[in-house]
Amino acid sequence: MIENLMMKYALLIPFLLICARDTKGQDNRLHPSSSRAPVSYHDFGAKGDGKTDDLDAIAAAHEFANLHGLPVKADDKATYYIGGKARTVVVRTDTDFGKANFIIDDTEVQDRDGAIFTVSSTLQPFKLPTVTTLKRDQKKIGVPLPGPCLITVTNSHIKQYIRFGLNQNNGSSQTDIFVADKNGNVDMNAPIIWDFDQITDITARPIDEKPLKITGGRFTTIANNAESKYTYYNRNIAVRRSNVTIEGLEHRVTGEGDHGAPYGGFINIGECAYVTVKNTILTGHLTYNTVGAAGKPVSMGTYDLSANRALNVSFINCSQTNDINDTKYWGILGSNFCKNLLYDRCTLSRFDAHQGVANATIRNSTLGHMGINAIGSGKLLIENSTIRGRSVVNLRPDYGSTWQGELVIRNCVFIPANGKPINASIISGSNSGQHDFGYVCYMPERITIENLRIDDSGHPEKYEGPSIFANFNPEMKDSTYREQFPYVKTKEVTLKNVTTASGKPVRVSDNLFQFKEVKVNEGK
C-alpha cells in the first residue's frame, strides 16, 4: 500500500513543480514549503483511531517528505497511538501537527533512549583537526568553514563541574560551544569562555540557513512505571538541527504512580543553535526519590524541557498544566553547557542551569517553587518578573555557587517560598572553599538590584528582615578560617528602591564576616 502511495506522490511532484512557477516562468521551488501540498499520515496508512500503532506510518510519511522536500500535515481529527516500538521518526521539513492528538505509551518500551521524533539536518558535522588550542574570548579560529557552524570543543584531559553533595561525581570533560562564520570569526555575543591548551575533539555542525517550523500537536505521555533510578527516558521530540521554531505544542502526562524512572525532557534541545519554543504548554513530572551517588536518599530530577550544548535558545509565552508552586512536581527545565538562554512571558516552575550557562535572561515571567537555579558566566538578567522560590537566584551549591560576571534584578516581585514563613535571602548558595570543582568559583562581581518588591509578609517569628546573601559558609566566622579553594566574593552591590512588605530593611547577610569587603551602594 505504501509503495502505491509513494508512486502517487511521485507522479504528483512534477505537477507541483510546474505550479510552483509564477506567471513569468520563474522557479519558486525555494519559496516557503506552505505553497506545496503537504504529506498526510493517513495516506501512508495511519489509522488515527487512538488504538492502532501508527508509528511506522508516521515514519514513512516523513521519510517521503524528507526525500522530496515536502511539508507534513497531521489530520486534526485524528488520535495517533504510538506504542513502545524502537523506531525514531526523522523530521527534516516543516511539520504541522495541528489539532491532532498523539498518545505516547511508555508502559512497555523497547528503547527508552530512542526519541519519537528527531528534528535533524541533512548537513553533516565534520572535524577540525588543525585547531589544536583555543583561548578565552578568542575572536577567530583560523580555519575557513563552508558557512556558519556551531562549534563544540572538548578537552577530555581536564575535568570540570566536579559535583559536590549527594549526587557527587568526577566531573565532565572541559567543554565549550560557540558559533563561527564562514571566515572562522567567532560570534562574540556568545564568546569562548575557557582556555583550551589541548583539544581532544572539535566538531563543526553547519547551521541550516532555512528555518524549519514544527506547529501544533496535542501530545500525551502515558508515563513509565519503571524503578525509580537514574535511567532517563527520552521518548520525546529531540531537536538536533539549528534554526528551528516549535509553536503551539501541548504536552501532558498521565499514569504517574508512586514510582517511575525520570524523563530527560519531552522537548529536548541539543547540539544546535537558534531554537525557539513559543506558545507551548508543558507538564511538570512527579518527584520521585532514589539513592544518590553518595549512597543516601535524594529527590530525583525529571524534566519536560531540556537543553544541552545549545546556543541562543528562547522559551516564549510557555506555561505548564500543573501548579507551578506544587512541590509534588519537579522543576520543568534542566540545562547543561548552554549559552544565551531566554525566558520571556513564561509561567513555569523553574529555570535551571546545571553545568553552566553563559548569559541568561528571564523577563516578563513568573517562576514557581523551584525558582531560578544557575551557575555560569556573563550576564544574568532578571526583569519584570515574579519569583516565588526560596530566593530570587539560587547559585547551585553542588557546582560551587559560581557566577563569573554580572547579576541584574530589575522591576521584580519576590515572594519568598510562595509566602511560607522563611528567613528570606535574595541570593542563596553555599561554598565551603574545601572542594575542587575543577575551576575557580566566583560570586557575581557586580550585583544590581533595582525596583524589587519583597513580599515577606508571611515571615517567621524573630525575623530580622531579608538579606542580600544567604550564609554561604557558616564555618567562616573569622580570619582563622582557611579556604583550600578560595571563593571569590562579590565586589559591589547596588540597591535602588528595594522595599519589603514586613517593613524591615534589607541586610547584607547573617554572615557579616564573609561579606565584610562587599561594597553596598544604596540609592532612592
H runs (alpha helix) in 477-520: none
Spatial CB neighbours of 390, under 8 Å, sequence gap ≥ 6: 371, 416, 417, 422, 424, 425, 428
Residue 22 has pLDDT above 50, yes or no: no
C-alpha to C-alpha distance for 361 and 409, rounded to whole angstroms: 10
Does residue 65 have a pLDDT over 90? yes
Instruction: Tell me how far apart the alpha carbons of residues 165 and 429 are, in angstroms, rounded to a whole number.
Output: 13
d(CA 361, CA 381): 5
For 143-159, the pLDDT digits (tens) are 999 999 999 999 999 99
Distance CA 81, CA 83 (A): 6
Residue 523's pLDDT band (cuts 50, 70, 90) = confident
pLDDT in tens, 374-402: 999 999 999 999 999 999 999 999 999 99
What is the C-alpha to C-alpha distance for residues 202 and 129, in angstroms, rounded to an integer? 7
Q: Are 73 and 38 in contact (CB under 8 A)?
A: yes
C-alpha cell at 176: 565549550
Residue 218 sits at φ, ψ, to 5 deg, of: -115, 100
Q: What is the mean pLDDT of the chain?
A: 93
Tens digits of residue pLDDT in 469-494: 999 999 999 999 999 999 999 999 99
Per-residue pLDDT band for 9 (boundaries 50, 70, 90) equals: low
